[in-house]
Amino acid sequence: MRSGPWARVVVAVLALVTVLALVAPGAAEAAPGPPDAPQWWFDSWGVSSLWADGARGQGVIIAEIDTGVNAQTPELAGQILPGINLGSTGGDGRRDHDTDPFGHGTAMASIMVARPGLYNITGLAPGAKVLPIAVPIVGTDDEANNSSDQVTTAIKWAADHGAKIISMSLGGKRNPMQDTSPCPDDEQAAITYAVAKGAVVVAAAGNSGQSGSPVEDPGVCLGVVSVGAVDSSGQVAAFSSRHRYLTVTAPGVDIPSLGRGSGTAYVGEGTSQATALTSAVLALVWSKHPSLSNEQVVARLLATLDRRSSTRDPAYGFGTVNARRAVTADVPASAPNPVYRAVEPYVAQLRDRASAKLKPAKSTPAPSAPPGEFAVGTAPSAITRPVVTGAAVTVAGTLALIVLVVFGAYRRRRWRRAVAAGGSSVTGGDAGALALGSPPGPSLGPGTEWGQPVAWGQPVAWGRPVAWGQPVAATQLAPPAWPSPSLGTNQPVAQGQPVAATQLAPSAWPSPSLPAASPSLPIAGPAAPPWQAAPAQQAPVSAPGLPPEAGPPTPPVS
């Protein structure tokens, strides 16, 4: 885990302060789940018709980076692939390391892929498979034995092991007073790598909507679908964090799920559950449209949102997920994708590197010779075409230099004669050699195109030192959909000077931006900043057939 003032924790919250008594399942309901807490999104999205039309998540692997999953849960039998536990205790991820009976990782898996069983709780994408990756975050039995929460390693491992969707119902709060960037460089590099490998990365926005909505990674990182929570009426939950980088909202209130122990179930709420459901929706889309790329799948999700907007709302993002429309709507291949727009140049860079490594080196075959002998080729001639060409270029350059020197001396003599004769003006092109009024330094800003030299007086991308006239990449700019970080009023940037976060307008810091160095692999970088916090809680469900809970639930984590 990370130590210090903040901690990376799973972000399900305890919003129900009383124990819910669920009655035993009776007649079949329109929506699955307990009668007192039905899975209401099944009705609003028409999930049964989507399944009948062949969209069940089949062929899609969802990597769940969480506390691990109890694969012995009957409703998850056959749904959980062997994964990995990156904590010190080892294992394949098919054990839930959550110390709370709720079992965060098992709960999220049940929301995505569970087969009907206890209380008829049913996963949205039962045809998909979950690849569990357990990480030693706060609230697990591994946290005390590890110096890192291993989330960065988990993202890359997921990308390397067939995951098409990487679901992270967790987050670590960022502090502008001590963190140099909203997204750690090593984590951004891992996410860029995963996107380049063809995966979709999904992360929770956080449950701090009533306590300031601090920036949280990995939700803030470039290329991530960041998810907030809404209730059954489509209203944003009070606990759902508000962010200018928020991508979408999804159902996250009154969500039933299976517990870590067999025969247990809970009803809770949080952006964790909203993230799991968004990941399952993406699996439905991909199973129905298997030829789409990761970028096209996300574009389809964004083009079919309820309350859809071309700009981000801090509470709703671009809108609210609608699984039915995402699967069935007619979406053009050119549909915009602001999530990938900013990270794509980095992705292209990684792909270019990988392609260059795959190209075989040119080789000259050795002359053949009988066995037991060696062959000696004829010595090359000293007079070759490259040698002749080089000599010609050298001679031409020397002649051109001589002409320039003679012409310059002639012009200087003319100028001196004009001054001696009392002239007060300079003619010809000499005055143009003076760089009068040069701006104090360069900056970056919206409108700068890929490889275009920097212009002067435009907003500066966070933490990016540049030299005057240096070509810049589009990835150094804040996308138009995000508030562009900029310096305070009339503060020029000195030539080549890095821009520190403290130089930015206070409201600009939470804006997503690129790390100070281009992401590269293998992933390496400074030690992760310290963290601390307590695990989140959920409201237990007691009912016939379920063991009674020992005592009232602990207070919510705020």
CA atoms within 13 A on the CB side of 227: 33
**What confidence category does residue 42 fall into, taking pLDDT thresholds of 50, 70 and 90?**
very high
The answer to whether 155 touches 187, Cβ cutoff 8 Å, is: yes
Residue 515 has pLDDT above 60, yes or no: no
**What confidence category does residue 388 fall into, taking pLDDT thresholds of 50, 70 and 90?**
low
Of residues 149, 165, 169, the one with CA closest to residue 198: 165
Report pLDDT for 139.
Answer: 93
What is the C-alpha to C-alpha distance for residues 321 and 306, in angstroms, rounded to an integer? Answer: 6
High-pLDDT (> 70) share of the chain, %: 61
pTM here?
0.66
**What confidence category does residue 440 fall into, taking pLDDT thresholds of 50, 70 and 90?**
very low
Greater confidence, 225 or 513?
A: 225
Tokens matching residue 113: 């892929």
Per-residue pLDDT, averaged over 67-80, amounts to 97
Predicted confidence (pLDDT) per residue in 343-365, tens digit: 998 998 888 887 777 666 555 55
Residue 460 has pLDDT above 90, yes or no: no
Of residues 194, 183, 304, 227, the one with CA closest to residue 11: 227
Strand order in the sheet with 8-10: 8-10, 170-173, 216-217
170-173 and 8-10 strand pairing: antiparallel
Greater confidence, 412 or 286?
A: 286
**Tally of residues, the chain:** 558
Report pLDDT for 79.
Answer: 98
**What confidence category does residue 374 fall into, taking pLDDT thresholds of 50, 70 and 90?**
very low
Report pLDDT for 208.
Answer: 96
Report pLDDT for 389.
Answer: 66
Amino acid occupying residue 506 = P
Find the range with the poorest average confidence among 144-158, 299-313, 450-464.
450-464
Per-residue pLDDT, averaged over 331-347, amounts to 91
Q: Is 12 helix (H, G, I), strand (E, B) or coil?
A: strand
Residue 377 has pLDDT above 80, yes or no: no
Residue 529 has pLDDT above 60, yes or no: no
The answer to whether 214 touches 208, Cβ cutoff 8 Å, is: yes
Per-residue pLDDT, averaged over 316-330, amounts to 98
Q: Is 320 helix (H, G, I), strand (E, B) or coil?
A: strand
Return the active site residues: 66, 104, 272
